[in-house]
Structure 1
């Protein structure tokens, strides 16, 4: 195979990865709109979105074929990988504290004992 064949294969692979990544990001946004409860929305917001971003980052590095680009894409993905679960955890915790989470749907309620009790009236 010649270099031209490898370049065509790399470009085609990058195109497929961008399309799959974009579809995953699209399903994440549709899931945010369609799902009714907070845990389902959090799942839709984090899992396909992070995987879609990973595929798009790989496609960018593959299509541009430069080490500086690959070195730039790695921290972008690592920061996304670190912040997506953290933000989902914080949103879920806030929904639990606000009472907007359906407690009947919980299998195990690990936060039941850590609820803050309101101060007693009058002192």
Structure 2
């Protein structure tokens, strides 16, 4: 049973590292801000969750699992919030290509603080 859990943990670490790598490549390759924000948040958060699950499986300790819970909660709370704030500021600065937006809900409020 221990070998099976170790193999599952190894697969989870590899998948998590692959997702984090794709997030880094997406940050370098994508041109516009919304695409970069998507690459910075979604695969990176899922990659971290997979790595945290692998660590919890590999160490098989409730104390370790309890220590990993705040890490997951902080990541889930801060990544979408920071991406939202960066995207909103990029829109206000005019660095977002408006012709690529499908729906522009901020067009009427652009001049307001």
TM-score using structure 2 length: 0.97
Structure 2 residue corresponding to 1:52, chosen from 47, 50, 54? 47
* Aligned residue number for residue 102 of structure 2: 107
Shift of 1:77: 0.5
Gap runs ≥5 in structure 1: 1-5, 118-123
**SS of the residue aligned with 2:108?**
helix
Question: Partners in 1 of 2:102 and 2:19 — Cα distance?
Answer: 28
Structure 2 residue corresponding to 1:13, chosen from 8, 12, 15? 8
Structure number with bigger Rg: 1
- Structure 1 runs of 4+ with >4 Å offset: none
Shift of 1:74: 1.2
Question: Partners in 2 of 1:40 and 1:107 — Cα distance?
Answer: 13
| Corresponding pairs, count | 112
Question: Partners in 2 of 1:20 and 1:108 — Cα distance?
Answer: 33
- Name the structure, 1 or 2, with higher relative contact order (CA <8 Å, separation 6+): 2
* Aligned residue number for residue 67 of structure 2: 72
Alignment RMSD: 0.8
TM-score using structure 1 length: 0.89
Structure 2 residue corresponding to 1:97, chosen from 70, 84, 92? 92
Question: Partners in 2 of 1:115 and 1:95 — Cα distance?
Answer: 12
Question: Partners in 2 of 1:75 and 1:30 — Cα distance?
Answer: 27
Gap runs ≥5 in structure 2: none
Shift of 1:55: 0.2
Question: Partners in 2 of 1:90 and 1:58 — Cα distance?
Answer: 28
